[in-house]
Each structure stands twice: as structure tokens, then as C-alpha cells.
Structure 1
Amino acid sequence: MLPQDSLQQEVIESVQVSLKFDLLYQRIRPDISKFIAVTSKLSLKSLDDWERLIRAEIFYSLRKYSPKQSGNEIHQVGSLRWMDICNADGFRRERALRTISGGAPNSFLLALTVRKLNDWVPQVRAAACDALPLIAEASDPEFIVDVLFITLPYWNSWGRMGDIEKEALMKVILMEKVTEALKKRILISSSGPVATIFVQAGRTTALDKFLAEIAEKSVQPSLRAKAYRCQFESKFVWAEGLTWQWVDKVHGIRRSIPVLKERIISTTTPFIEILRSATTDRSPMVRRIAGEMLIKELNNIGDEAFKLANILASDTSQSVAERGRYALTDLKKL
């Protein structure tokens, strides 16, 4: 559902005002400045509903000047540019993407551009792949990060988006200004699916050199835990959609499970240093991973294993302490 009626009305009026009709010359002379100003106020939530509203209003506004009603052929001078990205006509959406120049004026219109990577018209998706890197190059990186935060956690549900379209967005993430802005945002974010955004961005090498910083300084424990695990295992693992797995073929019972993919990375920090840091992390979620890795690599750590196992065994978190005690028991056997 869309938010307050007043904001909806502003959007509708901005579309109507943008389609200025020149009565003398029987032409539509677009001016989308008010539309851009209004869309700058819109939240990136309910994007589908906002786009549907804009598309409908474009359709109704243009129909007012149709030849059937006026008796004359109506010409449009210039392109609706950013507004045409929402047009119901696939040719207009494609043309808008092919003709837009410069950066996105706000994060909302950039988000609509990214959504065209999942458009139902193949030619529009191709145009979006070509246009997105050029638009991103000239856009505010904060706008881009806003869009990444509402896209990466959910894009696996975009059924028409393929590897080529995903690669176009990955090229944007690899831009230096975008990588830096993304790293800063995920470090300070205290809520939301930041760990998911982090691993989806891990399809590229963009965040590889920031792994240690993210593991130690991120606000969200789940993100720190994910960054530590990436360093311990020397790989990024992410979900690539869902697939079906049979539970009982006789009775036709099956369940959906995530399809996992991975990318191997090289870590420069020694394993023991990562383990020390994880063992003293402020979150039990991270310390549990430290205990897991201590047990897994017990034979390869050396004398410091006893010290780390004792620290974990005395932890206030029961699940962490259990791992520490298990490690101590194994060490005594050795």
C-alpha cells in the first residue's frame, strides 16, 4: 500500500503538470522538473505501487489529448526521459533508457532504472544493461547505495533477471566511489539485511580488501560474523535463488531450498590473528564462530589453542562456553 494520500496527489499532479499541452500548436511540451522534485520525496519502499501509479497517470494524461477526442494529431515535443521509464509502452521505456544522459536526479528514479533489469520486454532489459553503468558513473554514490540496499536482498525473486543483467549491476558495485560508499554504509547500519547485502556484493571483488575492517568495526553482529566466516573459510557464499528438493517422492512432497554459489578469495591476515580477534568480539554470535573454527583447526594452531579454548570456556554465553570446553577436552586427549 502507498503512504499518505497527500503524497499520492502530489505525484499525480506532478505527472499532469509535466505533460503541458500547447493549445495553439496542438503539442505536448514536457517539463518534468516538478516530477523530479516530487519523486525526490518518495521512499524506496513500495516501488512497484509507486511505479504503477505513475504509469497509470501517464496513460490517463496522454489519453486526454488523443486524436479521437481532439480530432487532430497530437505531437509530443521532446522526451519524457525519466518519467518514460514508467511508461506502459515498452518502446518508450527502451527509448528513455537509450536517450537519458547524466546522473540520476534522485535515488527513487535510479531505483526505477535498476528495476528495468527485470523488465518483461527483453529489449528494455538490454537497454537497461547498457544505460545503468553510464548513469551510475555520473550519479551520487549515496543514491546508488540506497538502491543497492533495497535491491540486493530481494533480487533473487526477480524472475526475468538473468546473469547478464546481474553482471550490469555488479559493474556498478565495482566502481571505486560506489565501493567506498557501500563499505561506509554497511559499517554503520544498525538494522536491515546488511549481511545479505554484504554477501551479494561478494559476487565481486569490491569488498575483499575491507574484510578485516568490516569484521572488526561493523555495528551489526550478524555482519561481523559473516565477515569473519568469509576470512576463516577464504570464500564468499551467497544464495542464487531457490530450487526444489524431494522430501517424499511417493507422496509428492517437496520443499524449496536455496541454491548456493561461492567465490574463493585470498586473505592476507594470518588465521590465528583472525581467530584471536573473533574470540574477543563483543557478540556471542561471532564468538560462537570462533569456537567452531578453533575446534575445526585444533591440530594446526599450536600452543595458543589452550589459551583461546580457556577464554571461550569461561564465556558468559552458554553456547560459546560449550565450544570452549569441547576444545579443551580434545586438547587434553591430544
Structure 2
Amino acid sequence: MNFFLRRQHPLSPPSPGVDVLERARLAVAGARPGDGDALEELIAALLQVGSAGNLEDSFEALRALTGRPALLLRLDTFVRQESAYSTRPAPSLAEADPVALVLAASQADGRIRERAVRRMLNRPRPELMPFVVLRTSDWVPQVREAACAGLAVLLHENPLLATSATVRTALLINRRRRGAFARGQLLVPLLADSDTALTGRLLTAPEPAVRRFVLDTTAHRFGIRHLAALAESDPDRQVRARAAEAATRQAVWTDQAELLRRLARSRHAEVRITALTGLMRTGSPQNVAQYLDDPSALIRALAREAARRTGTDPLAYYRTTVRAAEPAAGAVAGLAETGSRADGPLLTALLDNPVPQIRVHALRALRSLDVVPMPRVTALLRDGSTAVVKEAATTLAPSAPHLPADLLWDMLTDPQRSAVRRAGYRLSSRHDPLTALRAALVVSGDTHPRLVAQGKTDATTQIRNLAPHPWRTRPIPSLDASPAQSAELLALAEQRRTELTENVLRLLRDALRPGPAPMPGGTVGGGEARKPAA
């Protein structure tokens, strides 16, 4: 399909009740980088806005487009590829339509791109800057040099042209072979921003990558209170970690232990670990030792080192804490990290704790110490908590072949809870090939879509592995099914005819047919060559 070849007719009017700008916004929101039809619809919607003659609407449509820089890069490639084979005349750059201008900057003809870039540089607007940034990585030297020189001059004259969309586009093309220039040029206005107007605006950008870039560049210029507030409130984990590191560095240099203790109480682990490391550096291990039962494993390790420096035995602390009526989940995990098999009874007693999260951590601790009480953990396969059922199945997975078959079949057919059926299938699939195939066929008819998909995939794979192929060197698994079991498998497979293909059903019938199954290379199950008939 060729958009530029097909669009010889006037643009189609927008849908009734939807103005051209709203159509463009919807096209941007619904477009996917790999969907050519959606990109054609996006181009048509943008051109519709441009042809309406309202400059503010055109710039608003471009703002919506540049708000998705990854889509912008894909649209640039799409326009270039499609226009390379078009017989349509090149777009005119005489009119003032910014939509036509930015689409011309993506044309396959380098001379058109160069003229479009120069037009954008002569009429600089924040909405046009991402398109100039794109051309700084152009493969044609004349286009690239014009865009690079113009970008440097514009950012020097007006640093506020570096919008969040411009920065994000520069960060994306920085991965390209000739894409490092724009990112380097954006460092200049950030470092020269004496009143922090630009950096402050970019720190509120919706794209986390922009905020990370600003912090990596100018974190040293922000006050410690601002950085601490950013570390506690930003929704992006990496931004919080960068801000916390910068705030902690300043707090250590200026001996502000109170601010470090405040950050150490943050609900974000990446902020707490940075603040606690700062407290250790300021010589306050007693403040760090209080976090022995923190949910984060890294913080617990740091707290254990601090506890040793203060003369506290972490193992004794954990053993005492887990005996409490309401032990912390971090203490249970800490006992697993520092304890031994002798702590198995302590952890087993926690399997009766009314808090599901404590039971989950107790199961993990028993598994890590290799002291799994099989009967007690097996009973948790029917626990009221989905998380506990899943963790119990994970704990019992290595011992799944030794579990009672009746228990697993009851779990597979549980009428109420899909979590129990998923756990039963996970354990059944670790049994012998016959049990695993039967379980896959059973869950292929489940009401849970994920179980159905998993069962269908596993059943198809297992049945195909039963078929001999001359090029397969590994031995074919044997089902060792009795006539009654074979009949049951075939009946189940017939019930799943809509999920399995006819070819898969035929392979299963052949595998269950009485007599020695042929092996690759013309051999039978015993490995000896089949003798010709007399």
C-alpha cells in the first residue's frame, strides 16, 4: 500500500459530529508504530487539520503528535518509505501550513527535506523543534548540517524552545549512528539556565526519561529540600533514586542527619537504601540497625552490618521477632537469610499465622532452607489466599511426582477457584508424561482463558513430541497408557476438538495405537532395526 500514491483524490471529510482537530487527536491516540493503516489514517487526519487553515489547530495537532516521540520516529520512517515510490508531485512549501511543512521534512527527496528544515528554522516554534531534532541525524550531510547548525543557534537564542517533546525526541535518536548531536546541544541550555526556569519546567514533564535526563545533568543545582521532595513524590522509580542520591550526597556533606532519617522512612525502598547508606557514612549505625525487618532484602543486609557494629546479633533478633504474635514479614525473610535448618520448626509454626503475607514468607523461608514439611505445605494448596496457594505450589513443585494423584485431579476440577486449578495444573505437569498430557487436555476446556491457552499449547506440544521424525535424535517419550487410559485420553481429546487441530488428534491416535511405536531412523521402541516382512 502506498499512501502518497493512493491519495490523489480530495481528503475525505471527517465523521459527523467530530471536528478535524479531535479526529487528529484520536488518530494519534489510536496509532501504533507497526500498523501501516493506522499511520495512513494519522497522516490523513493531520492533513485534514492543515487544510482547514487554522494555524492554532495545526500546532495543537503537532503537539499531540510530538507527545508520542516513538510514534513520531516511526511516522517519519513511514512517510519517507512511502514517498520514495510515489508518483504524486512533491508537496509545496509555499503555504504556511505547519502540517505540510513537517511532512515535507520526512520526504524521501533530500532537497525537499533541506528546504523544509530551513523553513522551520526561519519560523521557530516549540512544536516544530522535535522535527528539527529528527533531521540532525539525517543521512544526507546537507540536511544534517543545516539542522544541527540551526538547532544550536535557536537553543542559544531561546532556551525555552527545548520542550519536553524536544528532549524526548533527542534522547530517542541518541541511539542512532549520527544522533548524539541533539542530546549534546540540549545540555548547553540546561547548564546555562541560571534561574532554573527551563530545568524546573522539564522536571514536571510527563515523560520519565526527560526528568531523568534533567536530574543527571543539573541535580547539583537544586536545593536539598527540593530534591528530597522529588525523591518522595515522583512516580518514576529511577527519578526517585536519582533525586534521593543527590539529596543524600548533600546531606552527608552538610551533616543533615535529620533529613536522612526522614528519607529513611520513605515508602520507597530505593529512597530508603540511599538514605540509610548516608547514615552509615555519617557514623550513625544505630539508626540503620532499626531496619533489620525491612521488606527490602538489600536494606536488611545493610541493617545487619549496622547491627553488628552496634553489638546486636541479627539472628537472635530474628528468632525473637518471629515468635511475636504479629511478626513482620521482613523478619521472617531475615531469618531465612541468616538462619539454618534448625529454624525449621519456628518457620513451620508461622504457617498457621492468620496473615496471608506471613504464610507466604514462611513458605519461601522453608523452601530456601530446604526444610519443607510436605503434609503441612500440601494442606495450604487449599488455602483461602490465592498468594498462599501459588507459593505452596511453588514450594511443592520439586516434589510434585510424589504428591497423591487424587489430590491433583481434585484441584484441577475445583469448581470455584481458578487459583487452585492453576496450582493443580502446575503440579500435574511435573508428573509422568501420561499425567501431564491428561492434565493439559483437562484444562484446555477450563473457563479461565489463561489456563485454556496454556493447556492447549502444552497438549499440542506434548502430542507432537510423541510423533517420530527422522531428524529427531532425542528419544520419544512413552506414555505407557493402558487401554482404559488410552480411551480416556482420546475421549478428552475429542472433547477438545475445537482447541486442537485435526492433525494433532491424528498424531495422538497414532501414538496410542497398540504395537511398538516406530523410532527415528526406522527403529522400534527397543532400538533395533525393524526386520522386513517375510
Q: What does the per-residue CA deviation read over 1:118-137, in whole Å, with 9 as the maximum and x for residues that have no partner?
A: 22123333322333356667
Counterpart position of 2:214: 201
Is 1:145 paired with 2:164? Answer: yes
Q: Which runs of 5+ in 1 are unaligned?
A: 21-30, 67-73, 235-265
SS, match of residue 203 in structure 2:
helix
- Displacement of 1:198: 3.9
Is 1:224 paired with 2:240? Answer: yes
Counterpart position of 2:268: 283
Q: What does the per-residue CA deviation read over 1:273-328, in whole Å, with 9 as the maximum and x for residues that have no partner?
A: 44223211111222223333444x2xx43xx441x123323434444233212112
Q: What does the per-residue CA deviation read over 1:27-67, in whole Å, with 9 as the maximum and x for residues that have no partner?
A: xxxx8968766545534333233113333565667x4448x
- Displacement of 1:145: 1.0
Contact 1:54–1:86 (Cα < 8 Å) also in 2: yes
Counterpart position of 2:125: 104
Is 1:160 paired with 2:165? Answer: no
- Mapped to 2, the partners of 1:98 and 1:231 lie a distance apart of 43
C-alpha change, 1:57 and 1:221, in structure 2 (3 Å) is closer
Contact 1:278–1:286 (Cα < 8 Å) also in 2: yes
Counterpart position of 1:121: 140
SS, match of residue 120 in structure 1:
coil
C-alpha change, 1:293 and 1:168, in structure 2 (3 Å) is same
Counterpart position of 2:231: 215
Provide the aligned C-alpha RMSD in A: 4.2
- Which residue of 57, 63, 71 maps to 1:46? 71
One-letter amino acid of the structure 2 residue matched with residue 121 of structure 1? V
- Which residue of 281, 292, 313 maps to 1:313? 292
- Displacement of 1:16: 9.5
- Mapped to 2, the partners of 1:92 and 1:37 lie a distance apart of 24
One-letter amino acid of the structure 2 residue matched with residue 8 of structure 1? E
C-alpha change, 1:157 and 1:44, in structure 2 (3 Å) is closer
- Mapped to 2, the partners of 1:36 and 1:12 lie a distance apart of 16
- Displacement of 1:329: 0.7
- Mapped to 2, the partners of 1:267 and 1:159 lie a distance apart of 40
One-letter amino acid of the structure 1 residue matched with residue 187 of structure 2? M
Is 1:8 paired with 2:24? Answer: no
- Structure whose alpha-carbon radius of gyration is higher: 2
TM-score by length of 2: 0.41
Is 1:323 paired with 2:326? Answer: no
Contact 1:224–1:286 (Cα < 8 Å) also in 2: yes
- Mapped to 2, the partners of 1:291 and 1:37 lie a distance apart of 46
C-alpha change, 1:158 and 1:230, in structure 2 (3 Å) is farther
- Displacement of 1:181: 1.6
Q: What does the per-residue CA deviation read over 1:247-291, in whole Å, with 9 as the maximum and x for residues that have no partner?
A: xxxxxxxxxxxxxxxxxxx99754534422321111122222333
Going by fraction, where is helix more abundant, 1 or 2?
2
Contact 1:110–1:147 (Cα < 8 Å) also in 2: yes
- Displacement of 1:75: 8.9
- Mapped to 1, the partners of 2:216 and 2:274 lie a distance apart of 22
TM-score by length of 1: 0.61
Q: Which runs of 5+ in 2 are unaligned?
A: 1-32, 313-534
One-letter amino acid of the structure 1 residue matched with residue 79 of structure 2? I
- Mapped to 1, the partners of 2:49 and 2:202 lie a distance apart of 36
Is 1:55 paired with 2:76? Answer: no
One-letter amino acid of the structure 2 residue matched with residue 320 of structure 1? I
C-alpha change, 1:132 and 1:274, in structure 2 (3 Å) is farther
- Mapped to 1, the partners of 2:288 and 2:45 lie a distance apart of 66
- Mapped to 2, the partners of 1:294 and 1:278 lie a distance apart of 10
- Which residue of 188, 201, 207 maps to 1:171? 188
- Mapped to 2, the partners of 1:215 and 1:138 lie a distance apart of 30
- Mapped to 1, the partners of 2:88 and 2:229 lie a distance apart of 57
SS, match of residue 310 in structure 2:
helix
Contact 2:202–2:211 (Cα < 8 Å) also in 1: no
